[in-house]
Amino acid sequence: MKNPTDPAAMTAVELVSAYAAGALSPVEATEVILRAITDRDGAVNAFCLVDPDRAMVQAKESEARWQSGHARGLLDGVPISIKDVFLTEGWPTRRGSTSIDPSGPWPVDSPVAARLREDGMVFLGKTTTPEIAWKAVTDSPLTGITRNPVDPSTTAGGSSGGSAAAVAAGMGPVSVGTDGGGSVRIPASFCGIVGFKPTYGRIPLYPASPFGPLAHAGPMARTVEDAALLMDILSLPDPRDPTALAPPVTALRAEMHRDVRGLRVAYSATLGYAEVDAEVATIVAGAVAQLAEAELLVSAADPGFTDPREAFELLWAAGAATMLSDFPDGTRERVDPELGLVWDRGETVRAVDYLAARNVAAQIGIAMGAFHTDYDVLITPTVPIPAFEAGHDVPPGSGLHSWPQWTPFTYPFNLTQQPAISIPAGTTRAGLPVGLQIVGPRHSDDLVLAVARFAEHVLAS
């Protein structure tokens, strides 16, 4: 799909460069990408709302700023989609649920939408999510099944599957998703794009997520550079999030260019407990070998914790039940049946059990803090399998019963609140993408992006 003259194939950085040179206008780029949505989204179902009128108004306003020599922000005029869990002024936020009334007036921007609007970006529409973003594939009673543009018979992953599918299909260069257990990184891996989960609190959130410290927002893009620029926009402060971190002292877009050769890298093929598809394992091991040849100091090492899935699933169920308890009467009868079971479980969670699960998270965080005194970053597969048949929560015939069972590499780092990114590592014989995950210590967002950019260039060469 790469074509430097086709706005639908250009990165955000390439679009901004073209705007600055007068070779392309935001209006022209937005028109092309809106046509791409019309032509392509029927096959993948990435969007639950497209607003061409608003997009063109914003594009014309951006065009006027560029023509006057006063571009507003880093990505002024770049088209973007927004996952339908972020409040966005003038658009309904239905979270994949038939229980939310779309009638308005919807007057509030979330911090994510506010920062993007202030930067001058062009809002294309909102992307699909499973109901309340509860699972790692993207289908819901409201919007149906979102498919993988690489192979529409397979899932795009989730819960930010709509955002991943939109970016991978050329329906906008960038998007913003959420990640409570891998929901940015999983679909990034399945769709062959970049997905970054920053340190908890790096991107302010409002309203507060009932999933608590598991919940992160994160950029989704075709390149690490685009993700870093989005991070510099999204990590600006917002007074509505009392848990938000101060913005980075140095711009992430500058820090990602640092020389990372000689860094100590731990490669864990299984985290000590995961089962990995043989082809995925071979692809990731080959990518890691290339990084070692490029002067990263790679050693095989597991972090040393056991699978925390039980604690994660308890915290996840409690969060889901908390959110759904505020929904209208009758919601229980309308939700995804499997979500209903999670809701039922969440309503039985005792405070002591919740705190015990939070202690599991704390202990893994302590272990990872010690691990990173020996290793600058940890590399793993992002997901141990390639994308599977769309319309299923787990791979058909696998015998698995819950989505965390097939994504053991992602949710541990929501428990620990560490930054983690997925970048493309290669493709299977069937052409399905495989992701490589890079994890850093808390607050090392700059380091993770720098290593990811280096790895991106090495693996593309």
Q: Are 141 and 129 in contact (CB under 8 A)?
A: no
Among residues 426, 433, 434, 425, the alpha carbon closest in space to that of 455 is found at: 425
| Host domain of residue 112 | 12-311+336-460
Cα–Cα distance for residue pair 225/230, rounded to 1 Å = 9
Take residue 34 and report the two structure tokens written for it.
């809106």
Residue with tokens 């990372």: 260
Mean pLDDT of 177-195: 99
Q: What's at 89, amino acid-wise?
A: E
Cα–Cα distance for residue pair 117/109, rounded to 1 Å = 9
Mean pLDDT of 286-311: 98
Cα–Cα distance for residue pair 359/363, rounded to 1 Å = 6
Task: Please determine, for residue 397, whether its predicted confidence score (pLDDT) is greater than 70.
Answer: yes
Cα–Cα distance for residue pair 160/330, rounded to 1 Å = 26
Residue 349 lies in a domain: yes
Which residues, other chains included, contact 303 with Cβ-Cβ below 8 Å and sequence gap of 6+?
Answer: 266, 268, 271, 272, 367, 368, 371, 378
Give the pLDDT band (50/70/90) at residue 130: very high
**Catalytic residue of the set 62, 159, 209, 268:** 159
Give the pLDDT band (50/70/90) at residue 306: very high
Helix (H, G, I), strand (E, B) or coil at 216: strand
Cα–Cα distance for residue pair 92/255, rounded to 1 Å = 36
Give the pLDDT band (50/70/90) at residue 3: low
Residue 306 lies in a domain: yes
Take residue 28 and report the two structure tokens written for it.
């022209």
Domain count, the chain: 1
Take residue 316 and report the two structure tokens written for it.
């996840």
Task: Please determine, for residue 5, whether its predicted confidence score (pLDDT) is greater than 90.
Answer: no
Give residue-wise pLDDT tens across range 20-77.
999 999 999 999 999 999 999 999 999 999 999 999 999 999 999 999 999 999 999 9
Residue 421 lies in a domain: yes
Mean pLDDT of 355-379: 98
What's the pLDDT at 186?
A: 99
What's the pLDDT at 146?
A: 98
Mean pLDDT of 433-456: 98
Cα–Cα distance for residue pair 399/394, rounded to 1 Å = 8
Among residues 88, 91, 188, 92, the alpha carbon closest in space to that of 138 is found at: 188
Give the pLDDT band (50/70/90) at residue 2: low
Give the whole-number percent of the chain exceeding pLDDT 90: 98
What's the pLDDT at 104?
A: 81
Give residue-wise pLDDT tens across range 320-350.
999 999 999 999 999 999 999 999 999 999 9
Task: Please determine, for residue 412, whether its predicted confidence score (pLDDT) is greater than 70.
Answer: yes
CATH number at residue 31: 3.90.1300.10
**Catalytic residue of the set 25, 62, 83, 175:** 83
209 catalytic residue (yes or no): no
Q: Are 124 and 37 in contact (CB under 8 A)?
A: yes
**Catalytic residue of the set 97, 140, 160, 183:** 183
Residue 430 lies in a domain: yes
Phi, psi of 377 (to 5 degrees): -140, 160
Which residue(s) pair with 151 in the sheet?
Answer: 148
Q: How many CB atoms lie within 10 A of CB 276?
A: 20
Residue 26 lies in a domain: yes
Task: Please determine, for residue 1, whether its predicted confidence score (pLDDT) is greater than 60.
Answer: no
Instruction: Say how many CA atoms lie within 13 Å of 296 toward its Cβ.
Output: 26
Cα–Cα distance for residue pair 152/94, rounded to 1 Å = 24
Q: What's at 407, amino acid-wise?
A: T
Mean pLDDT of 261-287: 98
Task: Please determine, for residue 134, whether its predicted confidence score (pLDDT) is greater than 80.
Answer: yes
Task: Please determine, for residue 167, whether its predicted confidence score (pLDDT) is greater than 50.
Answer: yes
Q: Is residue 159 reached through a cis peptide bond, with omega within 30 degrees of 0 on the bond before it?
A: yes
What's the pLDDT at 4?
A: 61
Q: Pairing mode, if any, of strands 147-148 and 151-155? A: antiparallel
What's the pLDDT at 266?
A: 99
Helix axes 161-168, 26-44, angle to 10 degrees: 120
183 catalytic residue (yes or no): yes
Q: Are 402 and 291 in contact (CB under 8 A)?
A: no
Cα–Cα distance for residue pair 135/157, rounded to 1 Å = 9
The mean predicted confidence, pLDDT, of the chain is: 97
Among residues 86, 23, 82, 34, the alpha carbon closest in space to that of 57 is found at: 34
Residue 324 lies in a domain: no
Mean pLDDT of 141-156: 98
Residue 5 lies in a domain: no
159 catalytic residue (yes or no): yes
Mean pLDDT of 243-263: 94
Residue 297 lies in a domain: yes
Residue 302, class by beta-carbon neighbours within 10 Å (0-12 exposed, 13-18 middle, 19+ buried)? middle
